[in-house]
């Protein structure tokens, strides 16, 4: 099918496709919140039935957490198989008062759909589903075999799926794995993502006295856990923004000349300033913002609490203090090994008498780095280029998709990261939205890429 017929397929599809997309968005499938457990289930039950009606073979795979949906269509066992990965779970909606329309009553304003999950990831996985649905309706077949793996716990670290992945190896076997959960640098800039950072997250819990103490009676005697926490946190980075944990960078390699050529590390400072209202002064001073964003590891303190922070003041030495931290990792950094380094360092820094716990969260993610020279990357790049009428950029993403590297190993397929997200989609934030123009482009790009990929193997 050529570009023109794909565009006319979208014309046929658009009305019902958008209606169904809005329905999918109306399920509050927040994976992290207990109160939404039945909404998460209803969402995946609806999707399973929807894909079954499309003619796909569907199966709900139970995990320790929320189930994963596997839906497949086999055209011919001799043709290649493409596995498309996405997630039907979404982030919580708080702070709810900042939404201009209710997050689970999708609202179209100026050509964009506003709802939690409109982009991340219901919108992105749904344009893939629509491309397959309408190709099947139009042609009665597909250019290659398709598997969809749509999970319900990406936003909480993909724990359940990660544990059972080895046991479903055979059912997810594929030649190609495409994770449709990333973005492009700007709305008129097609791009393919060739890298993700890995991630580990942990809590630091410090304990001092058995009760909160009066800071007049005990001040200068008892060691204040807040001070201990400040000391620990200050030791994590030096004055140049470099992470000061011994051996943290041991495995980090400088980019080679070839990598510098392959990856587009351009950084649009104007766009950054308009997103944040604040210059990019964090991180390692000696690297450019473009390098820091995705090629360098980082350590961020995501939350701190201890003692009193209400109105006025309270003269207290709190009995405990806490911090939440995440590290983003780059190739060759092993999440387990980095975790040990961090823990050893913190234990050494904590003042005598203060009890320390460093608790790692489950759901670590490995970094990913890919090449643009694979047949898979070429098939998608060609499709992006024919829809955008512009050369594709090859970018690295600073964020993480914990299951991506594991999926590649378990399925045995070549991996690629694609999507049409933009910073202004406000994923994870109030008023998340996705433009219908990009939903349409996504539909066309996926449809085109299926044909390109099927013809790679014929050559
Ligand atoms: N879709 C995002 C990852 C992403 C964000 C890709 C921005 C491209 C641009 C994904 O759903 C996500 O939010 N990942 C989390 C993982 C974490 C919860 C373990 C992240 O990176 O923080
Ligand atoms: Mn997300």
Which pLDDT tens digit goes with each residue over 51-108? 999 999 999 999 999 999 999 999 999 999 999 999 999 999 999 999 999 999 999 9
CA 369 to chain CA mean position, Å:
15
CB of 397 closer than 6 A to ligand 1? yes
Q: Is 108 helix (H, G, I), strand (E, B) or coil?
A: strand
Return the residue whose CA atom lies nearest to atom 1 of ligand 1.
181
**pLDDT band of 456, cuts 50, 70, 90:** confident
Query: Residue 26, class by beta-carbon neighbours within 10 Å (0-12 exposed, 13-18 middle, 19+ buried)?
Result: middle
Return the residue whose CA atom lies nearest to atom 9 of ligand 1.
182
Residue 425 has pLDDT above 70, yes or no: yes
pLDDT of residue 459: 46
Q: In the structure encoding, which two tokens stand for residue 192, read together?
A: 């393919």
Residues 217 and 242 sit within 8 Å (Cβ to Cβ):
no
Query: Do 104 and 121 share a domain, yes or no?
Result: yes
Query: Do 307 and 430 share a domain, yes or no?
Result: no
Identify the domain containing residue 286 by its residue range.
Answer: 255-291
Query: Do 311 and 393 share a domain, yes or no?
Result: no
pLDDT tens digits for range 193-229: 999 999 999 999 999 999 999 999 999 999 999 999 9
Task: Output the CA 31–ligand 2 centroid distance in Å.
Answer: 11
Query: Do 180 and 41 share a domain, yes or no?
Result: yes
The domain that contains 327 carries what CATH number? 3.30.70.360
Query: Do 231 and 378 share a domain, yes or no?
Result: no
Residue 199's DSSP bridge partners are: 328, 365
Query: Do 285 and 322 share a domain, yes or no?
Result: no
The residue whose CB lies within 8 Å of the most ligand 1 atoms, and thus the one to mutate among 427, 434, 438, 442, is: 427
What span, in angstroms and rounded, lies between the C-alpha atoms of 307 and 346?
A: 21
Q: Is 435 helix (H, G, I), strand (E, B) or coil?
A: strand
Mark which of 266, 291, 316 sits at the end of a domain. 291
Q: In which residue are the tokens 């109160």 written?
A: 35
pLDDT tens digits for range 271-319: 999 999 999 999 999 999 999 999 999 999 999 999 999 999 999 999 9
Query: Do 118 and 38 share a domain, yes or no?
Result: yes
Query: Do 372 and 438 share a domain, yes or no?
Result: yes
Q: How far is CA 23 from each of CA 16, 68, 84, 135, 181, rounded to the nearest angstrom? A: 11, 19, 21, 21, 20
**Domains contained in the chain, number:** 3
CB of 151 closer than 6 A to ligand 1? no
Ligand 1 atom closest to residue 181's alpha carbon, by position in its atom list: 1
Query: Do 332 and 407 share a domain, yes or no?
Result: no
Ligand closest to the CA atom of residue 425: 1
């Amino acid at each position: 099918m050529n570009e023109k017929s794909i565009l006319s397929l979208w014309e046929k599809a658009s009305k019902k496709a958008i209606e169904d997309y809005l329905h999918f968005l109306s399920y509050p499938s927040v994976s992290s919140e207990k109160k939404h457990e039945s909404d998460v289930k209803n969402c995946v039950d609806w999707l399973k039935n929807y894909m079954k009606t499309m003619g796909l073979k569907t199966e709900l795979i139970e995990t320790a957490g929320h189930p994963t949906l596997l839906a497949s269509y086999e055209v011919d066992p001799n043709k290649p198989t493409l596995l498309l990965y996405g997630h039907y779970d979404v982030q919580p909606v708080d702070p709810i008062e900042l939404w201009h329309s209710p997050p689970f009553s999708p609202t179209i304003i100026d050509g964009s759909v506003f709802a939690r999950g409109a982009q991340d990831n219901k919108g992105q996985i749904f344009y893939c589903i629509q491309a397959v649905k309408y190709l099947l309706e139009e042609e009665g077949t597909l250019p290659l075999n398709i598997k969809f793996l749509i999970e319900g716990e990406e936003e909480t670290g993909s724990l359940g799926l990660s544990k059972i992945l080895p046991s479903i190896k055979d059912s997810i076997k594929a030649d190609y794995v495409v994770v449709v959960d990333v973005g492009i640098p700007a709305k008129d800039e097609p791009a393919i993502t060739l890298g993700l950072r890995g991630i580990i997250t942990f809590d630091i819990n410090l304990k001092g006295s058995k009760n909160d103490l009066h800071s007049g009676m005990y001040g200068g005697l008892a060691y204040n856990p807040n001070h201990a926490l400040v000391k620990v946190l200050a030791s994590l980075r030096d004055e140049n923004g470099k992470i000061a944990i011994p051996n943290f960078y041991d495995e980090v390699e400088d980019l080679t000349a070839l990598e510098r050529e392959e990856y587009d590390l351009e950084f649009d400072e104007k766009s950054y300033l308009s997103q944040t209202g604040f210059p990019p002064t964090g991180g390692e001073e000696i690297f450019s913002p473009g390098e820091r964003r995705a090629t360098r590891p980082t350590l961020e303190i995501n939350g701190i609490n201890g003692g009193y922070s209400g109105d006025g003041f309270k003269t207290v030495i709190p009995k405990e203090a806490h911090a939440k931290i995440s590290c983003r990792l780059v190739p060759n950094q092993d999440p387990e090994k980095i975790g040990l380094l961090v823990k050893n360092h913190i234990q050494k820094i904590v003042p005598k008498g203060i009890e320390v716990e460093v608790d790692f969260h489950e759901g670590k993610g490995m970094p990913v780095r890919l090449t643009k020279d694979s047949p898979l990357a070429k098939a998608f790049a060609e499709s992006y280029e024919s829809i955008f009428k512009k050369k594709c950029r090859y970018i690295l993403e600073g964020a993480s998709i914990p299951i991506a590297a594991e999926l590649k190993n378990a399925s045995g397929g070549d991996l690629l990261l694609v999507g049409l997200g933009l910073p202004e989609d406000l994923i994870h934030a109030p008023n998340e939205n996705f433009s219908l123009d990009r939903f349409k482009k996504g539909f066309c790009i996926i449809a085109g890429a299926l044909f390109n990929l099927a013809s790679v193997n014929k050559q």
